[in-house]
Amino acid sequence: MPTPSPDSPPATDRSLAVIAAAVALALAAMAIWFVAQGGPWGGLVHHDTPPAATGRFTVNVNTAGADELAQLPGIGPATARRIVDHRREHGPFSSIEALHDVPDVGPATLEAIRPHLRPITASGKSR
């Protein structure tokens, strides 16, 4: 291979075109990957606020403690304590609808927590 003269360019027009095509292909691949990962709105995890749990959980309203009941949607620590107190004073709930007897558990709250409650049999025990 001949030694290039100081006046000649370091690369030929053909090699510059090949380098430009490779860079363009790499940029296109990175853009496709970025969009596939959700773009600027997806794929990143904030370490200070972990993503919400996606698993569904169920509880037995006749045996669950206040801490467990407080995890139900729309039920805070105070309402959970009322459910436990009501159960202690009046015995186990005979049906899920019996939760209406607990102060602050209205129809909207009951419908929000219903998917998380285990069914109660005729004996008052949860399956």
What's the gap between Cα 77 and its chain centre?
22
Domain made up of 52-127: CATH architecture? Orthogonal Bundle (1.10)
User: How many other CB atoms sit within 10 Å of the CB of residue 87?
Assistant: 19
Where residue 44 falls among pLDDT bands split at 50, 70, 90? low
**Nearest-angstrom CA–CA distance, 107 and 54:** 25
| Over residues 47-71, mean pLDDT | 83
Model pTM greater than 0.85? no
117 phi and psi angles, rounded to 5 deg: -105, 135
Q: Give the pLDDT of residue 60.
A: 93
Token readout for 8 is: 């000649």
- Going by pLDDT thresholds of 50, 70 and 90, the confidence category of residue 121 is confident
CB atoms within 10 A of CB 126: 19
- Per-residue pLDDT at 123: 57
- Tokens found for residue 78: 């105070």
46-73 residues labelled b (16+ CB within 10 A) or e (exposed): eeeeeeeeeeeeebbbbebebeebbebe
- What local confidence, expressed as pLDDT, does residue 13 receive? 81
Torsion of the alpha carbons at 88, 94, 96 and 101, rounded to the nearest 10: -60
Q: Taking residues 5-16, what's their average pLDDT? A: 75
